[in-house]
Amino acid sequence: MSLLKLLIFHPILMLSAFFGTADGFYEYTFTECVYSTSDYSDMVYLDSYSFNKVVDVQFNSTVGKFVGYTEEGVKYAEDWNKDKADLEQWKAQVDAFCIPNAQIFDSAVRDKAVKPKVKISSVKQAEGNHPAVLMCSAYEFYPEKIKVSWLRNGEVVTTDVTSTMEMADGDWYYQIHSELEYTPKSGEKISCIVEHASSTQPIVEDWNPSMPESERNKIAIGASGLVLGIIIAAAGLIYYKKKSTGRILVPN
């Protein structure tokens, strides 16, 4: 089975080809190399065949065979899956095609990549039956593709997490925000993990629950006011002493 492939690369590598018919309909093939880790250990090769935007049949390297999604697609899948040697060649595309091209693309992107700034802040403190909410923000990064996840005591959190899509800042940089609802427990450790092309290692930001950010801000503002007050008082005292030194007392 041969395919005409037009290369279009981005962090999820995609390849596509259109085949027009006389009556104006289109057959469409779409190949993807999907991955999120820097060592490509989770690389998946997908090859989909569609007719007018409806996927008929798809090959998935993790499944190891073609799967039909329409009546016609099921027939194609049954026929193509009979050739075991051909299936092995499709599965080999992960190493033969996806990884080499991903390495070329990633090396080109990393030369221009900008590392994200990561910050964890408290959005809401726990009150009664209502959980606390933390927000992990990654901003001023490039390129757009990024992965944000949470760890709680070393375990990946899979529930009570809400994330935005990558949002353009308007200056070629991007930002993303992820919120975690949780019930605080003494001695626990919560971390935000950010994976991005600009860094070969995940960026880890730990949450310090010793004092809520709002309280730290209040203390900082109060301390600044206290220092300013001391300076003004000292200046007033110096001025008063200077004025008092120049006075001459006249008896009545």
226 contacts: CB under 8 Å, gap ≥ 6: none
The CB density around residue 112, as the number of other CB atoms within 10 Å, is 11
Q: pLDDT digits over 11-48, tens only?
A: 445 555 555 554 556 778 888 888 877 788 989 999 99
Q: Where are the alpha helices (DSSP H) in 49-159?
A: 71-80, 84-91, 93, 99-110
Note whether residue 171 is domain-resident: yes
Q: Which residues pair with 181 in a beta bridge?
A: 133
Q: pLDDT digits over 206-247, tens only?
A: 998 775 555 555 545 655 665 666 677 666 666 556 665 555
What b/e sequence results for 117-135 when a residue is b if at least 16 CB atoms lie within 10 Å of its CB, and e otherwise?
ebebebeeeeeeeeebbbb
Instruction: State the residue range of the domain holding 186.
Output: 117-206
Domain end position, chosen among 86, 110, 134:
110
Q: Give CA–CA dist 126/133, Å, rounded.
A: 8
Domain end position, chosen among 60, 87, 110:
110
Instruction: Clarify whether residues 60 and 128 are in a common domain.
Output: no
Note whether residue 226 is domain-resident: no
Q: pLDDT digits over 91-135, tens only?
A: 999 999 999 988 887 777 666 889 999 999 999 888 888 899 999
Q: Give CA–CA dist 199/220, Å, rounded.
A: 33
Q: Which residues pair with 148 in a beta bridge?
A: 194
